[in-house]
């Protein structure tokens, strides 16, 4: 049953998360429930990508990061991988005018060189043609896993040491963060995972240290703008303490 409450109006524009990350899960189960192929589930999933991107742009949330394909997803049947890569290229082709019109910058993280050449080239072209857009940065994680990202970060710092650019004692949190694939995007304030699974699945493990987690039973292809607004409203009710005590947070707010 649909309620008549306008959820969007319940959102406090002064307390918006600056970065929302989403693990889009449940395409396969959604398709199975309808007696359709998994690939159809992914196609419907691409419509949900449009819903949340629009919702973020309308609310002026500056960063949205979507987990579209993990390092582990390469182990899926070849026809599903091919269909996902084709869907990526088709969606980018179809949505490019909308990205430009809405001032949205496309970005990607992950081991992109593993993508099929046509998908890699399309992605790069679109990233380049939207690079000066400023309203929303939409990051797609493709062939991404945190274990891969952290391994790359260690390798990159090791190279800098080998070539005398830094000393081991120069390694600090800032250097680590600068060598992550997500740099310079701020860490997510809110992580949403759909389909009732309560896992992080190798996604942004370093970056999620103080992120608020939100899980919903909704399968990704059914995910609507209202579902997204509900997650934001829930986030706005939480007190983020970052290791401090409640009274410290409240006195900081009173000082503002």
**Min CB(101)–ligand FPP separation in Å:** 18
Strands 136-144 and 190-193, bridge-based pairing: unpaired
Query: Are 104 and 180 a contacting pair, CB within 8 Å?
Result: no
Phi, psi of 214 (to 5 degrees): -135, 125
By CB under 6 A, name the one of 16, 25, 99, 231 that touches ligand FPP.
Answer: 25
Query: Are 231 and 190 a contacting pair, CB within 8 Å?
Result: yes
Under the criterion CB under 6 A, does residue 108 sit at the interface with ligand FPP? Answer: no
Region of 39-47, 117-125, 173-181, 183-191 interacting with ligand FPP (CB under 6 A): 39-47
25 is an active site residue: yes
75 is an active site residue: no
- Distance from the first to the final alpha carbon of the chain: 42
Q: Give the Cα separation of 157 and 176 in Å (integer).
A: 8
Residue 236: which of 28, 20, 42 has the closest Cα?
20
Catalytic residue among 4, 6, 12, 25: 25
Under the criterion CB under 6 A, does residue 188 sit at the interface with ligand FPP? Answer: no
Site string for ligand FPP, 210-229 (x = CB under 6 A): ----------x---------
Catalytically active residues are: 25, 73
Q: Which residues bind ligand FPP (CB under 6 A)?
A: 24-29, 42, 45-46, 49, 66, 68, 73, 87-88, 91, 140, 220
């Amino acid at each position: 049953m649909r309620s008549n409450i306008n959820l969007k109006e319940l959102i406090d524009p002064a307390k918006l998360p600056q970065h929302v990350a989403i693990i889009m899960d449940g395409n396969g189960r959604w398709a199975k429930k309808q007696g359709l192929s998994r690939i159809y589930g992914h196609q419907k999933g691409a419509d949900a990508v449009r819903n949340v991107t629009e919702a973020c742009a309308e609310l002026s949330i500056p960063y949205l990061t979507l987990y579209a394909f993990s390092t582990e997803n390469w182990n899926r049947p070849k026809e599903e991988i091919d269909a996902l890569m084709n869907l990526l290229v088709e969606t980018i082709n179809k949505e490019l005018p909308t990205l430009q019109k809405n001032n949205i910058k496309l970005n990607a993280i992950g081991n992109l060189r593993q993508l099929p050449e046509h998908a890699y080239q399309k992605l790069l072209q679109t990233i380049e043609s939207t690079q000066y857009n400023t309203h929303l940065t939409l990051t797609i994680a493709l062939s991404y896993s945190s274990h891969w990202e952290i391994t790359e970060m260690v390798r990159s710092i090791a190279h800098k040491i080998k070539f005398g650019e830094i000393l081991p004692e120069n390694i600090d949190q800032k250097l680590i963060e600068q060598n992550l694939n997500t740099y310079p995007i701020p860490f997510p304030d809110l992580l949403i995972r759909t389909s009732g699974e309560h896992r992080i699945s190798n996604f942004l493990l370093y970056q999620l240290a103080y992120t608020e987690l939100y899980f919903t039973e909704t399968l990704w292809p059914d995910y609507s703008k209202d579902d997204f607004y509900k997650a934001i409203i829930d986030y706005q009710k939480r007190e983020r303490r970052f290791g401090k005590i409640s009274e410290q947070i409240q006195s900081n707010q009173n000082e503002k």
